[in-house]
Amino acid sequence: MKQLICGTRVLDLSNVHVMGILNVTPDSFSDGGRYYSSKAGVENALVRAAEMLGEGATLIDIGGESTRPGAAIVSEQEEMDRVLPVVERIAQELDTIISIDTSSPGLMKAAGNLGAGLINDVRALLRPGAVEVVAQSSMSVCLMHMQGAPLSMQITPEYTSVVDEVMAFLNERVLLCKEAGIPVGRICLDPGFGFGKTLDHNLLLMKELDNVQLHELPLLIGTSRKSMVGGVLGKPVDQRLAGSLATVVYAVMKGAKIIRVHDVSETVDVVKMTEAIMNAKHV
């Protein structure tokens, strides 16, 4: 697929894109509370979004519900109260594709009305009404695989074949979306690193990432600062940059098109260097 239609904007997939993470939650494992709620928080979020765009991000992914392991579900209204003021300000002030990290149909619809172009759903539009909201919009959707729910997903996850089961789930969700009227030009996929998977599951999934290709749909990869990096390196969240960047190099070489990260500037450099090597020609 050559492009992803994101509302009024088009994402050119001839190059790899970096998606900057903007959490507006009080409890994100990485930056919880920094851009949360208040008027000052909204302004801080706008500044951070502008900073990430200046560093080379193409998309800003705004999330109002923490999906870290053990995270509790928040109400749809609370999530909307956190996210929509930030969406509105960024849509007014910045030139970017706005992605909404949510599973809530009400937030999807409201954010789309404010200018969001992509729904990044860790539950792959499983909540009632979610598929219909995206189908009736012009937004794209990223369908992610998750075994279980955030509150319990890391309690002894098991697979017969993690690659086959991830692909089977995503294929089922893609077919359902197509039947609902969402064209393939508005769908991307995320294998869900860290979502109901052990370290071994994550490493094998990354190793065989080029086999997680369905309907020629683009892959979005999110490994930034995650436990799979900590599990290999034995380092805390704030010391996982180098390990995260190693996964970015590998993912780009395996065909990933969107890289979701906290550390935008460093990731943009790594993506550019990796693509330059991959695209080198005989002289």
pLDDT, mean of each 10-residue run, the chain (283 residues):
95 98 74 55 93 98 85 88 96 98 98 98 97 98 89 79 96 98 97 96 97 92 97 97 98 98 98 98 93
Map out the domains of the chain as residue ranges.
3-278
**What CATH superfamily is the domain 3-278?**
Dihydropteroate synthase-like (3.20.20.20)
Active site residue 260: yes
Query: β-strands 187-190, 9-12: how paired?
Result: unpaired
For the chain, the first-to-last Cα distance in angstroms comes to 29
Report how far apart, in Å, the C-alpha atoms of 238 and of each of 131, 143, 199, 233, 262 are: 36, 28, 19, 12, 11
Distance CA 226, CA 205 (A): 14
pLDDT reported for residue 170: 97
Which one of the listed residues 82, 109, 226, 240 is annotated catalytic?
226
pLDDT reported for residue 68: 73
φ and ψ at residue 61, rounded to 5 degrees = -105, 110
| Identity of the amino acid at 130 | A
For 127, the token pair is 């909540």
pLDDT reported for residue 177: 98
pLDDT reported for residue 29: 43
| Identity of the amino acid at 105 | P
pLDDT reported for residue 74: 87
Question: At 231, is the secondary structure helix, strand, or coil?
Answer: helix
pTM of the model: 0.93
pLDDT reported for residue 153: 63
Active site residue 226: yes
Contact 212, 142 (CB under 8 A): no
pLDDT reported for residue 244: 98
Single out the residue of 94, 93, 107 nearest to residue 63, CA to CA: 107
pLDDT reported for residue 32: 46
Question: At 118, is the secondary structure helix, strand, or coil?
Answer: strand
Report how far apart, in Å, the C-alpha atoms of 245 and of each of 74, 95, 226, 266, 277 are: 31, 26, 12, 8, 16
Single out the residue of 72, 75, 73, 85 nearest to residue 36, CA to CA: 85
Q: How far is CA 152 from the centre of its chain?
A: 20
Distance CA 218, CA 19 (A): 14
Which one of the listed residues 9, 82, 257, 260 is annotated catalytic?
260
pLDDT reported for residue 27: 53
- CA angle at 71 for the pair 76 and 154, rounded to the nearest 5°: 130
Q: How far is CA 247 from the centre of its chain?
A: 15
pLDDT reported for residue 38: 60
Residue 205 CB burial class (10 angstroms; 0-12, 13-18, ≥19) = buried
